[in-house]
Structure 1
Amino acid sequence: MTPTDIAQVQTYMRKRFANPRIGLIRREKKTDSVEVMLDDEFLGVIYKDVEDGETCFHFQMTMLDIDLEGL
């Protein structure tokens, strides 16, 4: 992902989820994705996909069963 991609997607995520604490961080040795953070907590990964001249970004977030306990 380019620096422009990262800035645009970060702005989108912050606006969509009404949370300025969301940040995107480059991944070591990976150029097609970034980590999604809420302050210092890892939330997931966003992957860039370019196919047939169209670009999309996939947000993948994993929740463990222990994360859901007590809800």
Structure 2
Amino acid sequence: MKPEEIKKLDAYFKRTLNPQIVVKARPRKNDSAEVYLGEEFLGVVYVDDEDGDRSYNFSMAILDVDL
């Protein structure tokens, strides 16, 4: 994922969910980025560019003990 895309996603998450969210590049991966709330890992944003349309998918696991 390009740095410009990460900046746009970071701004989007801050604006729509929480100003403390941070989107970071993943080491050795260029098709996704990691999403954090402070130091807490929340999930991964993946690039989906099938069918010629570029979109993003956010994947977040919720553990039973967190509920």
Normalising by the residue count of structure 1, what TM-score does the alignment of the two structures yield? 0.89
- What is the CA RMSD across the aligned residues, in angstroms? 0.8
SS at match of 1:30: coil
Aligned length: 67
SS at match of 1:20: coil
| Structure with the higher helix share, 1 or 2 | 2
Which of structure 1's runs of 4+ aligned residues deviate more than 6 A? none
Normalising by the residue count of structure 2, what TM-score does the alignment of the two structures yield? 0.93
Q: 2:3 is matched with which residue? A: 3
Alpha-carbon distance in structure 1 between the residues aligned to 2:37 and 2:66 = 16
Alpha-carbon distance in structure 1 between the residues aligned to 2:8 and 2:52 = 19
Alpha-carbon distance in structure 2 between the residues aligned to 1:60 and 1:52 = 20
Q: Extract unaligned runs of 5+ from structure 1.
A: none
Q: 1:20 is matched with which residue? A: 19
Residue 7 of structure 1 deviates from its aligned partner by: 0.6
